[in-house]
Amino acid sequence: MKNEQVFKVFWTSGWDSTFTVAQYFRQGAHVKPYYVYDDNRSSRDKEIESIGKLSQLIKQRFADSGGQLDELTIIKRQDIKQSLRSYFSYKILKSRAHLGRQYFWLARLTKELQGTAVSVHKDGSVDHFIGECVKEVEDSTVGKYCVLKKNEADKHVRALFGNMSFPVIKLTKLDMKAIAEQHGFLDILHSTWFCHNSTTTPCGHCNPCKSLAKFGLAYRLDE
Ligand SMILES: [Zn+2]
């Protein structure tokens, strides 16, 4: 019997979230992607354009998978309701270690969009906060993904990350590269856009550029 579950995924057009969309679609899942439109990010229109191209590539490459990839839902950052409680928890965690501001908005969004996949990789800043307290869920369509063990997590970690799912938290960027190569979609990952400062040549200085270099994909900065 076909799995009727809809897999909600935050899609930035970058390496990790594009890997999740391609993996889920390839395995026949119904994927509903979301993008948070932030006026302060100069790459925002380039990212939406990239997602359009990546969607076509993924659908063509795995046309026989039985997967479904919905139109991108775009949510304006300023339309996300504020929550003092989430903000307080975000500030507390940020005082302990680096944590990007987007997790504050994503936490607020996942109160409504329960279970939406946030594609954070192994050894990254979010893994630092949640790695010890995630559990694996086995799904008959998409395989294993992780969620927070809510009863074991610190209350601020729970407030921010408790409603998300984590499809790639056990994978490094290089693990994803190997899996994409094995299943014939590494070229699609190489079509992703990641730099927040530029729409033409990766700047090498923003967080996504630095992250690619740090986690073994420095060659992409020369594209
Ligand atoms: Zn950059």
**pLDDT of 3 above 80:** no
Residue 115: pLDDT above 60?
A: yes
Distance (Å) from CA 199 to ligand 1 centroid: 9
* Confidence tier at 36 by pLDDT (50, 70, 90): very high
∠ at Cα 104 (100, 69), nearest 5°?
A: 90
**What local confidence, expressed as pLDDT, does residue 179 receive?**
98
Q: How far is the CA of 141 from the centre of ligand 1 (A)?
A: 35
User: Domains in the chain and their CATH numbers?
Assistant: 6-222 (3.40.50)
Residues with CB under 5 A from ligand 1 (ion): 195, 197, 203, 206, 209
Residue 53 Cα to ligand 1 midpoint, Å, equals 20
Whether the full predicted model's pTM is greater than 0.75, yes or no, is yes
State the distance from the centre of ligand 1 to the C-alpha of 180, rounded, in angstroms.
23
pLDDT digits (tens, 9 = 90+) for 37-57: 999 888 999 999 999 999 999
Per-residue pLDDT reduced to its tens digit, 53-72: 999 999 999 999 999 999 99
- Calculate how far, in angstroms, residue 133's C-alpha sits from the geometric centre of ligand 1: 31
How many Å lie between the centroid of ligand 1 and the Cα of residue 118? 20
Q: Report how far ligand 1's centroid is from the alpha carbon of 194 (Å).
A: 7
